[in-house]
Structure 1
Amino acid sequence: MKLPETTEWALHCVTALAQVPDEAVSRVQLAEHFALPAPYLSKQLALLVRGGVLSATTGPRGGFRLARPASDITLLDVVEAVDGSRDPYVCREIRQQGRGAAPPGECKDRCILAQKMRDAHDAWRESLQGVTVASLVDTLAASTVARTRASLSRAES
């Protein structure tokens, strides 16, 4: 499975915001912190707001922050907010096509490949559901958190 580059952006932004829970961080600050194009990042941040991962406020002190505690946000929440929850594997039943086509009687059950791909997708989702943003932040070095806080703090910008 290949996720778009913007999924990485969303995951890093959410994790960074978890490190500054008392701050509203602007899209420009986040874009500069990660050297990302602000207009494209805005689209991902809007998806995260729509998905209930982030909240946004306007005005001079406005910006983005987590919509709920980092301990209540999973990696799956972030991924699904920006990429959706649809199974990426689509079985087109090519086993029933071409010179090697299986007879319809052998295709009454779901294709075994589709079953195994669905099992893998479900396992991947379960794995992401088991990791919270708070648990990730807890693994970061103190220097990483300090650097993030310094970069995203309004007092420093």
Structure 2
Amino acid sequence: MRLSEGVEWGIHCTISLAGLPEGATLPTKALAENYGLSETYLAKHLQALANAKILESVPGPKGGYRLARPAEQITLLDIVEAIEGRERVFRCTEIRQRVPVQLPDSLYRMPCEVHVAMLRADRAWREALRSQTVAEIIANYKQRVAAQLRQPGEQWIAERIRHAPEKKERS
């Protein structure tokens, strides 16, 4: 299985946005420049994250993107599914029924063992992603990387922050 590069981009951009002060946004251009990505292609992935209510898109000259909910409430699975979709990675097409030597129909009523094994793996993979939040990734990074090494990147982003209107509370 191979995820698109958009998943990596989406995770990194979400992490960057998680560090913004309240009410601040970063435009697509700054996120693309920060990671050396195509602005056009990144915009497509950021819009998918906004459609999934992971990010919020703020229009206008002070606009850009910010988190739509706290980093503690955003899992890696949320980001993967926003970009890749929710479809399972394995699809059983029942090729076992195409073999030249036909077996009794009763055997085909039992679930295909390959399908069962792949579903189990899919559930485990999704659960691992569901159990990892953006906030935890940030905390792990801050634990492993000294503040003075993080500072230049944080300063670069701080210089590009836009202060958009405050987020309206949903009632």
Once residues 113 and 54 of structure 2 are traced to their aligned partners in structure 1, the CA distance between those partners, rounded to angstroms, is 35
Once residues 26 and 161 of structure 2 are traced to their aligned partners in structure 1, the CA distance between those partners, rounded to angstroms, is 12
Once residues 20 and 32 of structure 2 are traced to their aligned partners in structure 1, the CA distance between those partners, rounded to angstroms, is 16
The residue number in structure 1 matching 2:134 is 133
Q: Which runs of 5+ in 1 are unaligned?
A: none
Read off the aligned partner of 2:67 and give its amino acid letter.
Answer: L
TM-score normalised by length of structure 2: 0.85
How much does 1:120 deviate? 0.7
How much does 1:54 deviate? 0.2
How much does 1:100 deviate? 4.5
Once residues 94 and 102 of structure 2 are traced to their aligned partners in structure 1, the CA distance between those partners, rounded to angstroms, is 10
Alignment CA distance shift 1:37-1:102 (3 Å): farther
The residue number in structure 2 matching 1:13 is 13
Contact 1:21 1:65 survives alignment (8 Å): no
Q: Which runs of 5+ in 2 are unaligned?
A: 163-171
Alignment CA distance shift 1:154-1:62 (3 Å): farther
Does residue 43 of the first structure (1) align with residue 48 of the second (2)? Answer: no
Read off the aligned partner of 1:122 and give its amino acid letter.
Answer: R
Once residues 131 and 2 of structure 2 are traced to their aligned partners in structure 1, the CA distance between those partners, rounded to angstroms, is 20
How much does 1:20 deviate? 2.1
Cα deviation digits, residues 12-41 of structure 1 (max 9, x gap)? 111111122433000000000000000000
Once residues 83 and 155 of structure 1 are traced to their aligned partners in structure 2, the CA distance between those partners, rounded to angstroms, is 29
The residue number in structure 1 matching 2:158 is 153
Once residues 8 and 63 of structure 2 are traced to their aligned partners in structure 1, the CA distance between those partners, rounded to angstroms, is 24
Read off the aligned partner of 2:5 and give its amino acid letter.
Answer: E
Cα deviation digits, residues 90-135 of structure 1 (max 9, x gap)? 0111111132444422110111111111111111111111111011
Q: Which runs of 4+ in 1 moved over 6 A?
A: none
Instruction: Give the percent of matched residue pairs that are identical in Structure 1 and Structure 2.
Output: 36
Alignment CA distance shift 1:34-1:118 (3 Å): same
